[in-house]
A and B are shown apart, each in its own frame.
Chain A
Amino acid sequence: MVGWLPRAERYRFLPPEPVLRTALPWIVALMVALATLGVAAGMALAMGVGSLGMGVSSGLTVQIADGNPDRKAERAARIMTVLEASGAVTDPRQLSEERTNALLAPWLGTDDAADVLPVPVMIDANLVSGADVAAFRAAIADVDPEAIVDSHGEWFAPFSRLGWTMSGLALGAALLLLVAMAATVVLGVRAGLGRQREALGILHVLGAEDRIISGLFQYRLAVTTLVGAAGGFLMAMLVLAAISLLLADIGGGLLGAASLPVWGWLGLLIVPVLAVLLAMLTTRMTVERALGERI
């Protein structure tokens, strides 16, 4: 039943300490909850920016503005011919007058805007992967110097940079929280060594090796951190589940794209696991350093 316990714990070389009696598991729970939320925010932002970027970055729109409707139609037809023949773009499609009117109706309050205003003709297309926007723009300018080529990727780039930066910051904050947790573990272990000083002195004189003592502390801190990390992770999952429900109500856009896939949710498990491993490593180093101060 207890065969898997370290020998020092099985035979209670040190007085047992109830896990929840110290502040450590509570602090670990808080840190892990915040770190999990940080990682989730970072991942969601990265996924949102990534998925939106994939959707819009390849898009481009050619605008032909002209007060003369006949000339505008002629210029649009010429550019359509160039686009259809170009290897740099795929699926060129001109927005119909009805579609343009429908898009402008909320602002102009009329459904025949194109009849009364010099609304530009818009042609959407997708840039093939690796195609050079500048070269494409130059090719359009050869045919129609006044046509405006609007690359969606160019205006999305600052948003993308901001998104990735914020994502990195969120992940960095999560990492810092885990480092802060490790620092708390150091303090907790030192306090534990202080509480057990007398017993440790006896074990030392009886010939207990450093690894027996550090193994015992490592085991106890692993249990403590595991309890705290599990609690903190559960807390974070509840918060994330609530946020997911709110996002589901909002629907599309960046927030809609920012939801985590199943592997993302599973990936969050790395936070409590990392917390426990970090606590064990920190404990071993702290105990061995403290024991090294004795002869």
Chain B
Amino acid sequence: MGPLARFETVGLRYGTDAEVLRDISFRLDRGAFMFLVGPSGAGKTSLLKLLYLDEKPTRGRLTLFGKDIGAASRGELTALRRRVGVVFQDFRLLDHLSAFENVALPLRIAGVAESEVTAHVEELLGWVGLSAKANVRPQTLSGGEQQRLAIARAVIARPDLLLCDEPTGNVDPEMAARLLHLFQELNRLGTTVVVATHALQLLPRVPSATIMRLERGRIEDPTGTVRYAPDSTRAVGTR
């Protein structure tokens, strides 16, 4: 079984602007836990967009779930998107839907039977501590609650790949630790997890994680993915 994602000298530009990602090459193994770090504007969100198929590389080759994205049909891309869960930096919850309905959305899009939807959503809302707020609209929830709701929506369909863009940005340290634990649990169950974050203090909490640093659209270590030792805050090697 090959890697879950493979980037080969991938470049990305929006319109006619300069490239926001340049010569990105790395592989993301199935079951991996990866932190994506780097300063604002380094290209972390753009790289995630490639992974959740909101953009196609403008250069190079991206293979996801064994499929060359450049050659995939619209139908194939849609099927691949259903295997990816995304937690956006700004949550992107639908304000006209209740918390329950927001979490149920991926299952309902996939056409899952309503009895199954109800059971799964109720269970997951309990897991993220929002059972009591199932019927409220997202805009009435606190930032942390919205964050948890967004995470519940991202994982409800048991994605093979979970992408999180600054998932702990709006929560207190205790909640950040709990969320990270949740991601680790999902990872333990087989989900590949990529977390883009500024919060470097989180990195040692996942000793097995791969860490990749982006700087001005490039991977900082051009030879591959930078790996940090579990008990260190600096890069000690590459692979």
Footprint of B on A, CB under 8 Å? 7, 11-13, 15-16, 198-199, 201-210, 212, 292, 295
Q: Which of B37-45, B102-110, B140-148, B223-231 contacts A (4 or more CB under 8 A)?
A: B102-110
**CB-CB < 8 A to A201: which residues of B?**
54, 92
Judged by a CB distance under 8 angstroms, whether B27 is at the interface is no
In the complex, are the beta carbons of A205 and B86 less than 8 A apart? yes
In the complex, are the beta carbons of A13 and B105 less than 8 A apart? yes
Q: With A and B bound together, what is the CA distance between A98 and B115 in angstroms?
A: 93
Q: In the complex, what's the smallest C-beta–C-beta distance from B62 to chain A, in angstroms? A: 11
**CB-CB < 8 A to A206: which residues of B?**
81-82, 105-106, 109, 153
In the complex, are the beta carbons of A15 and B96 less than 8 A apart? yes
In the complex, are the beta carbons of A202 and B94 less than 8 A apart? yes
In the complex, are the beta carbons of B54 and A205 less than 8 A apart? yes
Q: Which of B72-80, B171-179, B180-188, B196-204 contacts A (4 or more CB under 8 A)?
A: B72-80
Q: With A and B bound together, what is the CA distance between A292 and B74 in angstroms?
A: 8
* 14 contacting pairs across A/B (C-beta < 8 A): A11-B101, A12-B97, A16-B96, A202-B94, A204-B81, A205-B52, A205-B54, A206-B105, A207-B106, A207-B110, A208-B109, A209-B75, A209-B78, A295-B56
**CB-CB < 8 A to B74: which residues of A?**
210, 292
Q: With A and B bound together, what is the CA distance between A212 and B111 in angstroms?
A: 11
In the complex, are the beta carbons of B82 and A207 less than 8 A apart? yes
Q: Apart from A205-B53, A295-B77, what 7 extra A-B contacts exist at CB < 8 Å?
A: A12-B97, A12-B101, A204-B81, A205-B81, A207-B82, A210-B78, A295-B53
Q: In the complex, what's the smallest C-beta–C-beta distance from A6 to chain B, in angstroms? A: 12
Q: With A and B bound together, what is the CA distance between A209 and B110 in angstroms?
A: 9
Judged by a CB distance under 8 angstroms, whether B19 is at the interface is no
Q: With A and B bound together, what is the CA distance between A167 and B82 in angstroms?
A: 56
In the complex, are the beta carbons of B97 and A207 less than 8 A apart? no
Q: With A and B bound together, what is the CA distance between A295 and B82 in angstroms?
A: 15
In the complex, are the beta carbons of B109 and A13 less than 8 A apart? yes
Binary flags per residue of B15-51, CB closer than 8 Å to A gives 1, else 0: 0000000000000000000000000000000000000
Q: In the complex, what's the smallest C-beta–C-beta distance from B171 to chain A, in angstroms? A: 21
Q: With A and B bound together, what is the CA distance between A201 and B52 in angstroms?
A: 12
**CB-CB < 8 A to A205: which residues of B?**
52-54, 81, 86
Q: Closest chain A residue to B110 by CB distance?
A: A207
Q: Closest chain A residue to B74 by CB distance?
A: A210
**Which positions 52-67 of chain B face chain A at CB distance < 8 Å?**
52-56
Q: In the complex, what's the smallest C-beta–C-beta distance from A11 to chain B, in angstroms? A: 5
**CB-CB < 8 A to A16: which residues of B?**
96
Q: With A and B bound together, what is the CA distance between A210 and B108 in angstroms?
A: 15
In the complex, are the beta carbons of B109 and A295 less than 8 A apart? no
**CB-CB < 8 A to B105: which residues of A?**
11, 13, 202-203, 206
Q: With A and B bound together, what is the CA distance between A16 and B95 in angstroms?
A: 11
**CB-CB < 8 A to B94: which residues of A?**
15, 199, 202
**CB-CB < 8 A to A207: which residues of B?**
78-79, 81-82, 106, 109-110
Q: With A and B bound together, what is the CA distance between A206 and B101 in angstroms?
A: 14
In the complex, are the beta carbons of A212 and B54 less than 8 A apart? no
In the complex, are the beta carbons of B54 and A203 less than 8 A apart? no
Q: In the complex, what's the smallest C-beta–C-beta distance from A81 to chain B, in angstroms? A: 85
**CB-CB < 8 A to A295: which residues of B?**
53-56, 77
Q: With A and B bound together, what is the CA distance between A212 and B110 in angstroms?
A: 10
Q: With A and B bound together, what is the CA distance between A11 and B55 in angstroms?
A: 27
**CB-CB < 8 A to A202: which residues of B?**
92, 94, 105
Q: In the complex, what's the smallest C-beta–C-beta distance from A219 to chain B, in angstroms? A: 16
Q: Which of B82, B101, B108 is A7 in contact with, Cβ under 8 Å?
A: B108
Q: With A and B bound together, what is the CA distance between A206 and B88 in angstroms?
A: 12
Q: In the complex, what's the smallest C-beta–C-beta distance from B154 to chain A, in angstroms? A: 9
Q: In the complex, what's the smallest C-beta–C-beta distance from A82 to chain B, in angstroms? A: 81
Q: With A and B bound together, what is the CA distance between A210 and B77 in angstroms?
A: 11
